[in-house]
Every structure is written in structure tokens, then in C-alpha cells.
Amino acid sequence: MPDNINVLLVEDHALTRIGLKALLDRTEDIKVIGEATNGQEALELTLSLKPHIVLMDVGMPVMDGIEAVKKIKEHKCEAGIIMLTSHDNERDIFASLTAGAGGYCLKDVEPERLYTAIRSVHAGDAWLDAAIAGQVLKQYSSFFSNSAGSLAKPETAKEKDDKSELQPAADDKYSNIVDPLSPRELEVLALIVEGLSNQEVSDRLFISLATTKTHVRNILNKLAVNDRTQAAVQAMRRGLV
């Protein structure tokens, strides 16, 4: 018999929890050791039960799944977290992955693929539902296409030498960024990565909506991207936040 993979189910709909537990009980190596109905319970049970895997819904009362992931990771818990949700929008996908989720799976997933997701994340791998992976790759492809299209004519060796004498070498994360982001813009970018709207950013930073929109526009211009999602992707790729 293989070692058990202990799983905590986090789902606010009772019938869905019952169905998931029955589904996982079919396996020999996956065992449900606890159930939570909101993000706050998920945090408390993760700390006390120490599951190997947390299957986490996104939209829940009290504390949503994305916020719960952040809190769990802040406590340095080693549990792998898989978002199991019907939410397939880019905001929730990137916010979840940025928060620390190791997998993102839609609720219409086939049972065998759910088992594979659990075993993969338990083994230390990342796992994305096929449809989700397609969205992520599309964003990366869009980003790299935009970057390639905006490349300037390569500098000669002499031009590079002349430039290096006039300014210090830039940190890798700011390479190809002509105008580095200000501290406030980095704060706004971090909240964009979390998936917050302009109004939510304004509320969090205690600034006006107009000021937030100006910061967002400047961020998009400096990162040479077209929208907030591409900004979030580039922020993660460069380690800006």
C-alpha cells in the first residue's frame, strides 16, 4: 500500500464536499483528513492538521480562497495548495498562483486528472488544468511577442561601452525597462498581481481612484505591456514584487 496523501477539502457547498470526498475515497493513496467551509477555517485546519494537500475553492464566505492561500504561506506551511474552482478568469488564476498555489484545477475536471493533480503537487510539481495552462501560455506568448516587436536596433560594442561609462549597470529585473518603477508604482503593481481592481487598490493605499489610474497607466507604459494581466505576468517573471 502506498503512503497516504492527506488532503484537506475547502469548499462552502456541502453537496460538493460530499461528492469530492466520495471521489477521493476511491483511491488507495489519497485520504481526506478534514473539511472546511471557508478560508478562515482552512487556515486554522491547515495549521492544526498539517495536510499534505489543500484543495481550495476560490469564492467562499468569511475569507476567500486566494486570501487563505496567502495566510497559509505566511505561516510557512509546507502543504501544497490546489485551487479547485469554477472560476476560470485571468484575475483569479494569476492571483492564486502569485499567492502561492501550486495548482489550479476546474471543477469539471475528470477524476483521474484530479488524482494526477494531487499526486503531482504532492511530489513538488506545479499542475494546471489544460484550459488554465492555455490561458497562462497565451499571456506569456503575448508578452514575448510584444517584447520582440518592440526591440530596438542592436547597439554596437562602442555604443554599449559609451553607455556603460555614463550610467551604472541596471539590475536584471529592470533590464529593457528604460524608466524603472517608483516605490509607489511597485506597491500598485504588487496589488495588481494580487488581482485587486483599481478601486480596491485605491482603498488599500488610501489614494484617489484617479491617482490609482495614473499609476496603472504609468506602469503599463514603463513595462511596455497592453493590460494589467500582462503587467502581472511580467512582474512575476522579473521578480519585481
Q: Which residues of 103-137 are buried (b: 16+ CB within 10 A; e: fewer)?
A: bbbbbebeeeebbebbbbbbeeeebbbeebeebbe
Which whole number is the average pLDDT over 182-208? 88
Strand ranges inside 24-116, DSSP E: 30-36, 53-56, 80-85, 103-106
pLDDT-based confidence at 170, cuts 50/70/90?
A: very low
pLDDT band for position 46 (50/70/90)?
Answer: very high
Residue 155: which pLDDT band, with cuts at 50, 70 and 90?
A: low
Phi–psi pair at 14, nearest 5 degrees = -60, -45
Q: Which residues contact 103 (CB under 8 A, 6 or more apart)?
A: 80, 81, 82, 83, 117, 120, 121, 126, 127, 128
pLDDT number for residue 229: 76
| Pairwise CA distance, residues 45 & 48, whole Å | 5
pLDDT of amino acid 168: 39
Q: What gap in Å lies between CA 128 and CA 199, rounded to an integer?
A: 30
CATH of the domain spanning 153-238: 1.10.10.10
Total-model pTM: 0.60
Contacts for 1 with CB less than 8 Å, ≥ 6 apart = 28, 29
Topology of the domain comprising 5-131: Rossmann fold (3.40.50)
Which whole number is the average pLDDT over 135-163? 52
pLDDT for 200-232, tens place per residue? 898 999 998 889 999 998 898 888 887 787 788
Lowest mean pLDDT among 8-17, 34-43, 100-109: 100-109
Residue 23 CA to residue 21 CA, distance in Å, equals 5
55 has pLDDT over 90: yes
Task: Please report the pLDDT score of residue 239 as a whole number.
Answer: 79
% of the chain with per-residue pLDDT over 90: 43
Which sequence spans correspond to the domains of the chain? 5-131, 153-238
